[in-house]
Amino acid sequence: MPYAGGGSHAYDAWSELLPPTIEAQTLRLPGRETRFSEEPPRDLYELAAALAAELAPYLTSSTAILGHSMGALLAFEVVRALRRSHGWEPACLLVSGVRAPQLSAGAPRYAGLSGPDLEEEVRGMFGGAAPILDERDLWELMLPVFRADLLMCDLYEYCPEPPLSCPVVAYGSTADKDVDEELVAAWSKQTTGPFERRMFPGEHFYLLRWPEAFAMDVTARLARYAVPRRS
């Protein structure tokens, strides 16, 4: 599940490093790439329900779902929607770069920031050098979708449900000013199954800075939880 403003190539930096036994696919959400003419989503619950219905025919017992930042919240709500509609949970849910959903009310709001302030926040998320800001035409093109995604996150309100039973792996980074280790650890409340917390060095987009290490770690988690459940 892509992060705010991300398209189907959001995770190419590390997903291409996964072994051939893992088939990685990133969703293409409305408002970007070949779906550019479509209105970007405004409600995370509505988007999750639509994605759950679309994905349901293709899911197996060895399917894992991963998301970073907005994508982590989306992945979580897609899994809950699939549990409600199909009684299905993934072999593993991997969430990265976002506080546990029950604590979302305390998350910073970014959608209403001015242009310069938003750019400054994006630079901080990349640790100072944000490649997307160097491509001004591309940045201006994607900015409306990025803001729409940020607004969708700002408006998200957690609705309590029983915890999942699948394994959950929660990733964070030591220099992410919005998501500290305690907020990552709080994901443990969202499952009765195995839980692992993994912290990397770096800022919010640490997984793009350390693609090899992140790909290796994801591979290890999937080997632990997904491979034994293959049909």
**Residues acting as catalytic residues:** 69
Report H helices in the chain.
12-15, 44-55, 70-86, 115-126, 131-134, 136-155, 181-185, 206-209, 211-225
| Residue among 89, 49, 55, 94 nearest 215 (CA) | 94
Name 47's Cβ contacts closer than 8 Å, sequence gap at least 6. 29, 41, 74, 152
Within 10 Å of residue 33's Cβ, how many Cβ atoms? 10
Look up residue 87 and give its DSSP letter.
Answer: -
Within 10 Å of residue 24's Cβ, how many Cβ atoms? 15
Write the secondary structure of 144-155 as one string of H (helix), E (strand) and C (coil): HHHHHHHHHHHH
Report the C-alpha gap between 229 and 13 in whole angstroms: 27
Residue 87 tokens read as: 């009684």
